[in-house]
Amino acid sequence: MKVSDYIVDYIIQQKIDHVFGYPGGMVTDLMDSLSKRSNEITAYVVRHEQAAAFAACGYAQATHKTGVAYATSGPGATNLITGIANAYFDSIPCVFITGQVNTYESKGELPIRQSGFQEMNIVAMVQCITKYAVQINEKKSVVKELEKAFCIAQEGRPGPVLIDIPMNIFKSDIPLNKESSKLNDQNNLASASFNVIIEKLNNSSKPVILAGRGIEIANVREEFRKLVETLKIPVVTSMIAIDSLEQNSKYNYGFIGAYGNRFSNIILNNSDLIISMGSRLDRRQIGNNLELFAPKAQIIRIDIDHDEFSRKVKNEEIEICASLTSIFNFLLEKKNEIKPRFKKWIGYCDYVKYKLQARDRQLSNIMVNEISKYVPDGVTITTDVGQNQVWVAQSFALKDKQRIFFSGGHGAMGYSLPAALGLCAATQEKVISFNGDGGIQMNIQELNTVKENNLPIKIFVFNNHSLGMIRHFQEMYFNSDFVQTTSNTGYNTPDFQKIALAYDIPYVSIHNVKEIPLIEEYILSDGACIIEVFVGDTTYVYPKLAMGRPISDQEPLLERKEYKEIMEECSGI
């Protein structure tokens, strides 16, 4: 069987029905093989390889299958790198297939820069952002390496794998009677006593569960919700895990971090026990001064990746390397051994939430909240990176079956639209893509892909005619020298209505809250649309954590008397 045919056949066997890529000379055999099986697998032709990588991420996030993207050698391969990094940092299982020059054209060990046209050592370039990367230079290695790649992408903590294949290997024939060398998908987890969780809970009066994106990655969201209702413990989340618990749950106390809810950060910092489930606890979440973070709290960190424990949050932290599935099953089985006695603590959490939840709302937050009322349950949402991302995280009223996806650790502008493309391909349902006027321009060419495939993606563009997050930073630390971030300083925005017209995509704009009902017919329509939201030229994200301050004390600072009263209210619990 021809190698490229075998690869496509194997992908189909993994029940993967959509892949994403861009044509190129070194992958023409793969393209041809995909075309032969077009009744079983759809190859979406994007307009830039970076978009293919993000779309593969979106597909994997939606399905929990392995996302697949392909690109030709040289610039095609290097254009994938941003999306590969996104998959690595957000633990998204993807296999990236790159073409390479023929083996007989390769420079090999010669001390020259390049031999074949568009030759590039992509394996060396991505080794630090992949779980595994390999160039296949012998056809006999194809079966083993392909199976190895898909196994590694999914096992343990998921992530990206790259396979680089020379063009003449794609063209080669391999026998079909070779024995498979498929690896066993096993997690070699260090043994840990889960009883310590029960022990610490029973000795705690102010516990908090910190829910991370690991819950979604492990596909145990429903199990987590059941656990919370059983344990009756307050929950805060990381920003990219805000959909892990129903927003109307009485145990949901928002998301933490530099741009998190003020009340959420105060609750976390006043706790005496933090049970972190699948969260990295990075500095954007807990602040730069670790001595000020939850000073009276014991931390239990649960993570499937033992390497995460190499970066300590507290010297006395308890580390459990295990799958969340095993932890949830254990706690549910042992629920009768846990003594629920947190009434006063929950009362304090309710008090702080009631007092502060509307404190920092701005027009942008109000508009996002109103927009969310017109988005049906079950619709998936993506955001880009920047102020639009935070406004959505803070104020979008998520319904129970809605899911929301971010570019988390990598924080890549240009993620939202192509990720929505991958999500929409996976679900064949409407997807909402939130963008800023800056981020949308990073992959604006994918409007053509959306139109070509008649994908029902509803594309919101929050337009403040600036790169708002950096503009705010310049206001705070650079004496309001808005170089390269606002109109006439090096940055500008196009006329998005004309762009919509060019791509033949319906367009509507809104300028205030009263006009928001106009979007309903566009959201409920069958095809794509662009909804431009004008939010004024000067926008901010509040609350915001300043360098060196505890996460409980974000800007704009509360009056010192009020802040002291809120913090002291907790002391008697």
**What is the three-state SS of 283-348?**
HHHHCCCHHHCCCCCEEEEEECCHHHHHCCCCCCCEEEECCHHHHHHHHHHCHHHCCCCCHHHHHH
DSSP secondary structure of 384-435: -SSHHHHHHHHH----TT--EE---SS--TT-HHHHHHHHHHHH-S-EEEEE
**Which two three-digit tokens encode residue 215?**
């819950």
In the predicted structure, residue 184 carries a pLDDT above the cut 80: no
What integer pLDDT is reported at residue 193 of this predicted model?
75
For position 368, what pLDDT does the model report? 97
Per-residue pLDDT at 442: 97
Is the pLDDT reported for residue 190 higher than 60? Answer: no
The tokens for 335 are 């629920």
Residue-range domain boundaries for the chain: 3-171, 195-356, 363-534
- Structure tokens given for 187: 């997690």
CATH topology for 3-171 is: Rossmann fold (3.40.50)
Average pLDDT, the chain: 93
Phi-psi sector, 245: left (phi>0), alpha (psi -120 to 50), beta: beta
pLDDT at 189 over 50: no
**What are 497-536's pLDDT values in tens digits?**
999 999 999 999 999 999 999 999 999 999 999 999 999 8
- Classified as helix, coil or strand, 13 is helix
Identical topology for domains 3-171 and 363-534: yes
Taking a C-beta distance cutoff of 8 angstroms, is the pair 432, 382 a contact? yes
Query: Alpha-carbon distance 151 to 182, whole Å?
Result: 8
Give pLDDT, residue 558: 95
Q: Which residues contact 566 (CB under 8 A, 6 or more apart)?
A: 266, 352, 355, 356, 558
- In sequence order, the β-bridge partners of residue 173 are 2
pLDDT of 192 over the 60 cut: no
What is the pLDDT averaged over residues 145-172? 97
The greatest distance separating any two alpha carbons of the chain, rounded to the nearest whole angstrom, comes to: 77
* Spatial distance between the Cα atoms of 160 and 226, rounded to a whole number of angstroms: 31
**Nearest 10 degrees: CA dihedral of 394, 397, 399, 400?**
40
pLDDT in tens, 240-283: 999 999 999 999 999 999 999 999 999 999 999 999 999 999 98
pLDDT recorded at residue 181: 46
E-only strand ranges, 455-547:
457-463, 507-510, 529-534
- DSSP β-ladder status, 273-277 and 380-382: unpaired
Q: What is the CATH number of domain 195-356?
A: 3.40.50.1220
Place of tokens 């889960």: 194
| CA separation for the pair 567, 559 (Å, rounded) | 12
3-state secondary structure at position 376: coil
Question: pLDDT digits over 88-116, tens only?
Answer: 999 999 999 999 999 898 888 889 898 88
Q: Does 191 have pLDDT greater than 50?
A: no
Strand ranges across the sheet with 404-405:
404-405, 380-382, 431-436, 457-463, 529-534, 507-510
Q: Which of 224, 197, 195, 230 is nearest to 211 (CA)?
A: 224
Other beta carbons within 10 angstroms of residue 473's beta carbon come to: 13
With a cut of 80, say whether residue 187 has pLDDT above it. no
| Helix (H), strand (E) counts: the chain | 23, 18
pLDDT in tens, 205-232: 999 999 999 999 999 999 999 999 999 9
Rounded CA separation 516/521 (Å): 11
pLDDT, mean of residues 547-566: 93
- C-alpha R_g of the chain: 25
Max avg pLDDT among 41-45, 115-119, 472-476: 41-45
Q: How confident is the model at residue 177 (pLDDT cuts 50, 70, 90)?
A: low
**pLDDT score of 51 more than 80:** yes
Strands 529-534 and 507-510 come out as parallel
Residue 552 and residue 555: Cα distance in Å, rounded? 10
| pLDDT confidence of residue 188 | 37
Please report which confidence band the pLDDT of residue 142 belongs to, taking 50, 70 and 90 as the band edges.
Answer: very high
Cα–Cα distance, 135 to 97 (Å, whole number): 10
pLDDT at 276: 97
Q: If we measure between CA atoms, which residue out of 389, 387, 374, 457 comes closest to residue 58?
A: 457
Tell me how far CA of residue 275 lies from CA of 91, 243, 272, in angstroms.
21, 18, 10
Which pLDDT does position 326 carry in this prediction? Answer: 94
Residue 367, pLDDT above cutoff 70: yes
DSSP state for residue 270 in the 8-state scheme: T
**Candidate from 74-78, 172-176, 253-257 with smallest mean pLDDT:** 172-176
Encode pLDDT of 424-464 as tens digits: 999 999 999 999 999 999 999 999 999 999 999 999 999 99
Cβ neighbours for 88, distance < 8 A, ≥ 6 positions apart = 129, 130, 131, 159, 160, 410
**Angle, CA of 520, 525 and 531, to the nearest 5°:** 55
pLDDT above 60: residue 391? yes
Q: What is the CATH number of domain 363-534?
A: 3.40.50.970
State the DSSP string of 100-141: E--GGG--TT-SSS-SSTT---HHHHHGGGSSEEEE--SGGG
pLDDT above 90 (res 546): no
Distance separating alpha carbons of residues 431 and 457, to the nearest angstrom:
5
> Is the distance from CB of 71 to CB of 21 less than 8 angstroms?
yes
Identify the pLDDT of residue 548: 86
* DSSP string over 190-218: PP--THHHHHHHHT-SSEEEEE-THHHHT
pLDDT recorded at residue 185: 38
Question: Could you tell me how many residues make up the chain?
Answer: 573
Tens digit of each residue's pLDDT (9 = 90 or more) over 271-307: 999 999 999 999 889 988 888 999 999 999 999 999 9
- What pLDDT, on a 0 to 100 scale, did the predictor assign at position 186? 39
Q: Residue 465 — left, alpha, or beta (φ > 0 → left; ψ -120 to 50 → alpha)?
A: left
Interval 312-364: pLDDT, tens: 999 999 999 999 999 999 999 999 998 878 999 999 999 999 999 988 889 99
